């Protein structure tokens, strides 16, 4: 009898676990992925709701109207200026859902009133129509339009501008863009949000990560001397990591190797660090994370597409910012922002507030720390290196008199392209202007000659210099 009772208790326990596990996982999934589930095209309830609700308006941070609904036809209408519409097409989206996970779809729970109470629905129904919440974004429409006006014509790429203390996204520009008010077809290239979904090796901007790993793991690394002859061979087959244009930097220390963006030195550092230490530092910066941000969808970055440890020239090229690295411009902006913010990486935010038709606040902005990438002391050291890149290194074309600009250039070689991808990440070291950015222009040339001058113009715009 005792054995029978024991068997019954075991069976009951197993049954309880089988019932509770799906409930616990369901609750966890709803909390973590709730926005993605609610706005999914497979959510039949939400899809039917959208057909019976007039979506709310979308505004920029200064109250500029970006999207609204025609009161008579219900048709979605966008900002009157075409340049403004195009500059924010990948942020706002359009009624056709051309851009995956833009505000028009990803914030649909607010725009279509999914959070309305029963009484709110009853009151609105008595007046003839249900209206969703109005949404105000963190983006600056003036800055976005300005970026659109200065970005090289007929070039693909992206620009991300964010507040490194709060995570507010001031601009999230992707090129080529399109006019959301036009009925003309949009190409796959135009629909792709390159700021958040395009993955690529970021070139020498990744040396920020390699530098951090070297400073953390290699004793007396700042006092060592290196010798660059323009290239360095690795592995059994003696594959060579070359410096840009075959430049031989000669004798140099770690700081000068960073400011002059010496591939040979950073390849040697990666080889000495080994896969484990370099990969661990990359993970500290969020590389390899499953990004589930509240306000936007960002493609996950990868240290390497293969799960096996990197060796020889593969590891060396990774330390210099090439090989199988895959990062988005937004993530590279977050990495630079973490250095600026004493090592704390903030979650990128796009929602400033959501307000009901009656004026009740449905949601409000709050800064959310995402992870600690560096100690404050290490962040200050790397910041000083990035400052020297702009004052005396490859990033001098980003310098602005009267502002403390810190940055890192990158020139990523892509086999299928005639020219390299030009990268620049950096920030203004200022409590009053805590601005970080990432600029990438594809198939355009070097980061120092193409991306850095664009960064300078953007810094000038936001600072009024």
Question: How far apart (Å, rounded) are the C-alpha atoms in residues 75 and 82?
Answer: 18
At 8 the pLDDT is 63
Would you give the end-to-end CA distance of the chain in angstroms? Answer: 86
Q: Lowest mean pLDDT: which of 3-7, 17-21, 56-60, 192-196?
A: 17-21
**pLDDT value of residue 382:** 98
Instruction: Please provide the size of the chain in residues.
Output: 465
Instruction: Name the pLDDT band for 44 (thresholds 50, 70, 90).
Output: very low
* pLDDT score recorded for residue 247: 87
Residues 25-30 have a mean pLDDT of 44
Kindly calculate the radius of gyration of the chain based on its CA atoms and give it in whole angstroms: 25
Taking residues 215-233, what's their average pLDDT?
A: 93
Of 88, 151, 143, 98, nearest to 442 by C-alpha is: 151
Please state, rounded to an integer, the average pLDDT across all residues of the chain. 89
Give residue 274's pLDDT.
94
* H helix and E strand count, the chain: 16, 19
- Residue 388 is predicted with a pLDDT of 98
Token pair in block for residue 463: 């600072």
Select the more confidently predicted residue: 122 or 343.
343
**DSSP labels, 97-147:** --STT-HHHHTHHHHTTTT--HHHHHHHHHTT-EE--EEEES--HHHHHHH
Contact 167, 346 (CB under 8 A): yes
Tokens of 258: 């960073």
Tally Cβ neighbours within 10 Å of residue 85: 24
Residue 436 in tokens: 């970080």
Angle at which helices 376-392 and 207-217 cross, to 10°: 130
Number of Cβ within a 10 Å radius of residue 72: 6
Q: In Å, what is the CA distance from 90 to each residue of 34, 38, 257, 409? A: 22, 20, 37, 25
Beta bridge partner(s), residue 422? 411, 441
Task: Judge whether residue 317 has pLDDT over 80.
Answer: yes
Contact 236, 311 (CB under 8 A): no
Residue labelled with tokens 């020239």? 313
Please give the order of strands across the beta sheet that includes 65-69. Answer: 76-78, 65-69, 58-59, 134-137, 351-355, 361-364
User: Hey, what are 260's tokens?
Assistant: 């002059």
**What average pLDDT does the segment 266-280 reach?**
95
β-partners of residue 428 are 405
pLDDT(19) > 90: no
Q: Which position has the higher pLDDT, 20 or 402?
A: 402
Average pLDDT of the segment spanning 226-235:
86
* pLDDT score at 12: 60
pLDDT of 351 over the 60 cut: yes
CB-CB neighbours of 366 under 10 Å? 11
- Confirm if 65 and 81 have CB atoms less than 8 A apart: no
pTM (2 d.p.)? 0.89
3-state secondary structure of 377: helix
Q: What is the token pair recorded at 288?
A: 């390899």
Q: Given pLDDT bands bounded at 50, 70 and 90, which one contains residue 70? A: confident
Contact (CB, 8 A) for 299 and 192: no
DSSP category for residue 355: E
Alpha-carbon distance of 208 to 436, in angstroms, equals 14
pLDDT, tens only, 108-153: 999 998 888 777 777 776 677 788 999 999 999 999 999 999 999 9
Q: Give me the pLDDT at residue 237, please.
A: 66
């Amino acid at each position: 009898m005792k054995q029978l009772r024991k068997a019954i208790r075991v069976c009951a326990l197993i049954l309880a676990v089988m019932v509770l596990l799906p409930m616990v996982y369901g609750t966890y999934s709803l909390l973590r992925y709730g926005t993605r589930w609610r706005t999914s095209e497979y959510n039949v309830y939400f899809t039917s709701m959208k057909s019976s609700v007039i979506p709310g308006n979308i505004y920029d941070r200064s109250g500029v109207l970006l999207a609204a609904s025609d009161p008579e036809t219900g048709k979605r209408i966008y900002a009157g200026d075409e340049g403004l519409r195009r500059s924010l097409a990948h942020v706002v989206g359009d009624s056709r859902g051309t851009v995956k996970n833009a505000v028009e779809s990803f914030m649909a729970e607010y725009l279509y009133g999914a959070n309305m109470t029963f009484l709110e629905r009853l009151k609105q129904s008595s007046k003839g129509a249900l209206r969703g919440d109005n949404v105000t974004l963190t983006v600056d429409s003036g800055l976005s339009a300005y970026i659109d006006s200065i970005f090289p014509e007929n070039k693909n790429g992206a620009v991300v501008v964010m507040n490194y203390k709060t995570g507010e996204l001031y601009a999230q520009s992707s090129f080529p863009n399109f006019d959301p008010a036009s009925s003309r077809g949009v190409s796959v290239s135009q629909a792709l949000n390159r700021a958040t979904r395009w993955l690529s090796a970021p070139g020498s901007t990744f040396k920020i990560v390699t530098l951090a790993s070297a400073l953390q793991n290699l004793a007396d690394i700042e006092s060592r001397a290196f010798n660059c002859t323009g290239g360095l061979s690795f592995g059994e087959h003696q594959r060579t990591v070359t410096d840009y244009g075959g430049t031989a930097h000669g004798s140099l220390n770690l700081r000068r190797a960073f400011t002059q963006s010496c591939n040979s030195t950073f390849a040697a550092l990666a080889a000495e660090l080994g896969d484990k230490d370099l990969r661990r530092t990359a993970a500290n910066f969020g590389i390899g994370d499953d990004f589930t941000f509240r306000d936007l969808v960002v493609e996950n970055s990868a240290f390497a597409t293969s799960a096996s440890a990197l060796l020889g020239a593969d590891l060396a090229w990774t330390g210099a910012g090439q090989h199988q690295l895959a990062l988005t411009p937004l993530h590279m902006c977050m990495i630079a922002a973490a250095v600026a913010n004493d090592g704390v990486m903030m979650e990128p935010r796009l929602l400033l507030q959501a307000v009901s038709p009656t004026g009740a606040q449905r949601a409000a902005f709050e800064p959310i720390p995402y992870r600690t990438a560096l100690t404050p002391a290490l962040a200050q050291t790397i910041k000083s290196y990035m400052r020297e890149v702009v004052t005396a290194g490859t990033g001098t074309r980003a310098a602005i008199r009267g502002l403390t600009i810190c940055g890192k250039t990158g020139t990523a070689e892509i086999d299928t392209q005639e020219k390299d991808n030009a990268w620049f990440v950096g920030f203004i070291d200022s409590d009053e202007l805590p601005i970080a950015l990432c600029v990438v222009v594809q198939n355009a040339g070097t980061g120092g000659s193409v991306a850095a001058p664009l960064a300078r113009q953007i810094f000038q715009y936001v600072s009024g210099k």
